[in-house]
Amino acid sequence: MRIVLGVGGGIAAYKVASLLRLFTEAGHDVTVIPTEAATRFVGVATWEALSGHPVSNSVFDDVHQVNHVRLGHEADLIVVAPATADLLARAATGQANDLLTNTLLMASGPVLFAPAMHTEMWQHAATRANVETLRGRGVAVLEPASGRLTGSDSGPGRLPEPEAIFDAAIALTQGSSDYQLPLAGKTVTISAGGTREPLDPVRFLGNRSSGKQGVALAVAARNAGATVRLLAAHMEVPAPAGVEVVAVETALQLREAALAAAADSDVVIMAAAVADFRPAEISGTKIKKRDDAADPVISLVRNPDILHELVELRDAAANQLRRSQLIVGFAAETGDGEGDVLAYAEAKLRRKGCDLLVVNHVGTDKVFGQDTNAVVILSRSGSEPQEASGTKTEVSAAVINRIGYELNHVSPRA
């Protein structure tokens, strides 16, 4: 694939060298176009050495090749990182005062901007308007990451990690014909892994969840352009780059984190395996096994129904000045003599009241800890169940695509 990598004039330009390496190691042919300001942060020699191509930012170099027209026409993908406030403004207003902005005007394929700037600049009305203008034209603009900025500042405005930009760029070339990321500008909260309910300082009640499906969902949502917050219970896999991680252990901790996160989320996906019960009492010391003592009896109490509570809070605020929110539940079910998996799942959907319920048939050798999954997506609207199967990455892509469809085609709640 032929890629044009535009580099804006921000301190985060040094991270883009790693992004360039990811593209070239994946076999792509990359032409780097830095702005004049970008060369003050990373020199031309670095870009030439890593890309294997001459580097220029002037329309007057190699005029016989008509680069200001040719590069945009030939590119299968254009990625701009860091996309500064100035670059976003120039792109939105169609300026063409250097080789990069000329190339953007000539683009015939997908374009991805990865913004990086101070929080106040990102949140300024002018920048937000420029971003919306670009997205309205079908250009993909990632949400910046949150965290430490230049100096002591902290907040949204960090350049997403190179791996996150790479994944989003590749996903963009495999997406729809209009190249619009389905969750661009959305905030998505996802719970993942299994909660653990302590019995004593060394023991707990847990489950077999590995967190693989929740992490795959976080990656898919991130690649779809969302700002992703991952509520991570016990997981056997690392959290992906480019998402905010909130660590939790128990169901009560997950409840607190989910209620807080839902306040500013467009989508909430409860994929974690949450314990239904917890010990009524937690021993402050290890429970000893003694021959002269009776076997311990452990009394359990119900944990709160986090998914149902999220739905109730959302619906209670429906008539207030608050944007509509999509809530997705997961159901790990086993059939028995009284009903099959789908029968129990449909009853759970009615009981929980969420918009979508992703159902899988679990067992000792099914789903938990595996790399593959097969699910059925049920909708509160009564539409036909949707099946998805394959790797957990493929299942996650199907779930995120369905969420994008629901957000763009379902009327807001009254």
- Residues assigned a catalytic role: 207
Q: How far apart are CA 124 and CA 134, in angstroms?
A: 16
Q: How far apart are CA 107 and CA 291, in angstroms?
A: 78
Q: Is 20 exposed, middle or buried (0-12, 13-18, 19+ CB in 10 A)?
A: buried
Residue in the structure block whose two tokens are 């763009």: 408
Q: How far apart are CA 278 and CA 322, in angstroms?
A: 34
Residue 352: both structure tokens together: 């929980």
- 3-class state of residue 167 by DSSP: helix
Q: How far apart are CA 44 and CA 54, in angstroms?
A: 9
> What single-letter amino acid sits at 85?
A
Residue 251: both structure tokens together: 């169901």
Q: How far apart are CA 221 and CA 267, in angstroms?
A: 10
Q: How far apart are CA 208 and CA 192, in angstroms?
A: 12
Residue 87, CA distances (Å) to 58, 68, 114, 261 in order: 16, 17, 11, 32
Phi-psi region of 79 (alpha: psi -120 to 50; beta: other; left: phi over 0): beta
For residues 357 and 381, is the Cβ–Cβ distance under 8 A? no
For residues 250 and 196, is the Cβ–Cβ distance under 8 A? yes
Residue 61: both structure tokens together: 């170099």
